[in-house]
Amino acid sequence: MTEMGFAAQSATGPLEQFAFERRAPRPEDVVIDILFCGVCHTDLHLARNHGGFTTYPIVPGHEIIGRVREVGTAVSRFKAGDLAGVGCMVDSCQHCKPCLQGWEQDCVEGSTYTYNSVDRQDGGVTYGGYSGSVVVRDKFVLSMPDGLDPAGAAPLLCAGITTWSPLHRWNVGEDSKVAVIGLGGLGHMALKLAKALGADVTLFTRSAGKEEDAFRLGADHVVLSGEPEQMKAVAGRFDVIIDTVPYDHDVNPYMPTLALEGVLVLVGYLGPLGTPVNAGGVVRGRRAISGSFIGGVPETQQMLDFCGAHGIVSDVEIIPIQKINEAYERMLKSDVKYRFVIDMASLKSQGA
């Protein structure tokens, strides 16, 4: 079936209207009419080919909330009319060790991402949520808990799970001291989730002026990372630091702020760090630098259920799809409060 979306045709051009084919639903598929789609910094990285592996045209979007339009004959978990979510993955091998453990994001055969990925079933390219509808294998469709605002819930599908997964892995709870580097989409979800888990929460930010928002979002303390005195004042403090910075940066100044056996978890930047890591910063204090990549399907459902129980959604600025290029420019200036979410009704309003 022909679908409309917004695509980038090159690394330098704007995203523009684009017609493409969605596959006819298979027995195990769910067809979802998209209501809202969050705008992740990964969408920008890939639209602009920052990693060097983008296939054009690219239809980004992996924070998808929509209504189920129809389901295949083998689907029992969903029915037409249900509110459903789709995150960063739409398929995986389902038989390797990580898949069997619920870590589909680290599938040995490579998971199929929601966009810019090869569809393992038919070899086509996947197109994401900046579009009217999506067809997804039921195992990768999430149930949305009742009572959450659908626009605010969309970013849970990536920003939420990407920050929840490391908090969960390192057993963050009431006795934990957690810090978050960068107050953007991931950062603000990390503040909210760490706070809801009972931790004492600190924000590291480059940007003076975000303090008031940070306190409202769940921070107990704010540290301006460019102020050496403020950095010294938190030496030896944190059990877990979630680093959401999207570009190359020096992690060394953060290492002395970790407590004994504390861990700095990279979730933002995926490329080579330009400033070598000082081994002394990890050797002393038995500290660690680790990383975390989105989260598996069962863990994503667990995070959504936690957010449903605690009334947690993202703070969003809703935009029509026609403003997506402007939103990318603002994201580059850290001018996001704190996630853009596209209202997909705007796609129809321009006759698309």
Shortest spacing between CB 63 and ligand NAP, in angstroms: 9
Q: Is 165 left (phi over 0), alpha (psi -120 to 50) or beta?
A: alpha
92 binds, among ligand NAP, Zn ion, none (CB under 5 to 8 A by kind): Zn ion
Here's the x/- map for Zn ion, 250-289, by CB under 5 A: it reads as: ----------------------------------------
Shortest spacing between CB 92 and Zn ion, in angstroms: 5
Q: CA 115, CA 37: separation in Å to the nearest integer? A: 13
Nearer to ligand NAP, 117 or 133 (CB): 117
Residue 325: count other Cβ atoms within 10 Å of its Cβ: 15
Handedness of CA 294, 300, 305, 306 (dihedral sign): negative
223 in Cβ contact with 231 (< 8 Å):
yes
Q: CA 258, CA 235: separation in Å to the nearest integer? A: 7
Nearer to ligand NAP, 124 or 298 (CB): 298
Shortest spacing between CB 53 and ligand NAP, in angstroms: 13
Interacting residues toward ligand NAP by CB under 6 A? 40-42, 45, 158, 162, 182-187, 205-207, 210, 244-247, 249, 267-269, 292-294, 331, 334, 336
Minimal CA–CA distance to 141: which of 95, 189, 75?
75
Q: CA 278, CA 232: separation in Å to the nearest integer? A: 17
Shortest spacing between CB 204 and ligand NAP, in angstroms: 8
42 contacts Zn ion (rule: CB under 5 A)? yes
Nearer to ligand NAP, 207 or 290 (CB): 207
Shortest spacing between CB 75 and Zn ion, in angstroms: 21
343 in Cβ contact with 317 (< 8 Å):
no
60 in Cβ contact with 128 (< 8 Å):
yes
Site for Zn ion in 73-92 (CB under 5 A): 92
152 binds, among ligand NAP, Zn ion, none (CB under 5 to 8 A by kind): none
Nearer to ligand NAP, 33 or 250 (CB): 250
List the one residue from 15, 31, 32, 40 that touches Zn ion (CB under 5 A). 40
List the one residue from 11, 93, 288, 352 that touches Zn ion (CB under 5 A). 93
Give residue 7's identity as a one-letter amino acid code.
A
Nearer to ligand NAP, 111 or 133 (CB): 111
112 binds, among Zn ion, ligand NAP, none (CB under 5 to 8 A by kind): none
Q: CA 139, CA 294: separation in Å to the nearest integer? A: 16
5 binds, among Zn ion, ligand NAP, none (CB under 5 to 8 A by kind): none
Nearer to ligand NAP, 178 or 183 (CB): 183
What contacts 150, CB < 8 A, 6 or more positions away? 35, 36, 65, 83, 144
Site for Zn ion in 158-177 (CB under 5 A): 158
List the one residue from 11, 96, 231, 352 that touches Zn ion (CB under 5 A). 96
323 binds, among ligand NAP, Zn ion, none (CB under 5 to 8 A by kind): none
Segment holding 228, helix H or strand E? helix 228-232
Handedness of CA 40, 41, 44, 50 (dihedral sign): negative
257 in Cβ contact with 235 (< 8 Å):
yes
Shortest spacing between CB 261 and ligand NAP, in angstroms: 22
Q: CA 104, CA 91: separation in Å to the nearest integer? A: 8
Q: In the complex, which residues of this chain contact Zn ion (CB under 5 A)?
A: 40, 42, 92-93, 96, 99, 107, 158
